[in-house]
Structure 1
Amino acid sequence: MARPKPFEIIVPCAKLGPSLRYVLVGCVNTFVGLSVIFFCISWVAMPPIAANVSGYAVGLFVSFLLNRRYTFRSKIPIAGVWRFLMIMLLAYCINVLVVLAATAWLGFGDYIVQILAVASYLIVGFLGNNLFVFKEGEYEAK
């Protein structure tokens, strides 16, 4: 009998498909990022922008590690984080464009705009990571 991986013990839904695991990892890294932001503001007395940058940096790194091991079960080296950061930056830029377009041209309300923006971020992030960052077999030993 195969021994379960540590994350599969903690998260019983480890058998989910990659897209649902991606959303779950997003929830975890959001919690981690917000925790770092609140810690930096409360305990370290950082200014809000510096705390925000710190929280996002930690959240992105946690996201990379969890997506690498759990979502895509990839063996890419840690150095692959640069591809990940490029995709997440692209996803964020599209998120902002959706906010601007849905507000200016479509006249949608603030909440609908944010839902559309988050959906675009999730879709671009998942597809980019699946097709470009954690591409199966690309980092296998030759």
Structure 2
Amino acid sequence: METLKQAIRYGVVGLSNTLITAVVIWVMMKMAGCSDVVSNIIGYTAGVLNSFVWNKRWTFKSSVGWTQGAIKFGVVFGVCYLMQLGLLLYLNKHLTIDSYYNQLLAMAFYTVINFIMNKYYTFKA
């Protein structure tokens, strides 16, 4: 039951992260004319800061220290980010749809992997 509650909370936090990330990526790509990769990096940076605070305090209610938690969170983020970036580049190469939709697919993949790793590694006390 606790995992279900955490998954729901993670989903709420994730929606805010996704909105922040997607809007920043869109602004960077469509208004600032940045590349997919630069837009993706900036978008994820904005979302990850929001994610760490809310997931530590609210989703997982973790007693892991801020420094230790931040280091683990950074490692998990890096692994998940590289996995989703690889997927994004693969999709961009093999699909002919607007690359923005590939960004959204890669974000969904990232979300699932990130929850699992944060629950069982980052915020596990």
State the TM-score, normalized to the length of structure 2: 0.65
Name segments (4+ residues, structure 1) moved above 4 Å: 29-35
- Percent pairwise identity: 30
Q: Confirm whether residue 28 of structure 1 aligns to residue 16 of structure 2.
A: yes
Return the match for 1:121 from 77, 96, 110: 110
How far residue 24 of structure 1 moved from its aligned partner, in angstroms, is 1.4
Aligned to 2:63: 75
Q: Residue 108 and residue 130 in structure 1: after superposition, are their counterparts in 2 closer, same or farther (change >3 A)? A: farther
1:45-124 equivalences under 5 Å are 56=45, 59-79=47-67, 80-104=69-93, 106-107=94-95, 109-110=97-98, 111-124=100-113
SS of equivalent to 1:17: helix
Q: Residue 68 and residue 115 in structure 1: after superposition, are their counterparts in 2 closer, same or farther (change >3 A)? A: same
Structure 1 unaligned regions, length at least 5: 1-15, 38-47
Q: Which is bigger in relative contact order (C-alpha 8 A, separation at least 6)?
A: 2
SS of equivalent to 2:63: coil
What is the one-letter code of the residue matched to 1:103? N
Q: Residue 72 and residue 60 in structure 1: after superposition, are their counterparts in 2 closer, same or farther (change >3 A)? A: same
What is the one-letter code of the residue matched to 1:126? F
Larger Rg: 1
CA-to-aligned-CA distance 1:35-63 (integer Å, 9 cap, x gap): 9x8xxxxxxxxxx98xx85x926x43332
SS of equivalent to 1:73: coil
RMSD: 3.2
How far residue 130 of structure 1 moved from its aligned partner, in angstroms, is 0.6
How far residue 109 of structure 1 moved from its aligned partner, in angstroms, is 2.1
SS of equivalent to 1:119: helix
Distance of 2:95 and 2:21 partners within structure 1: 31
Contact preservation (8 Å) 2:18, 2:107:
no
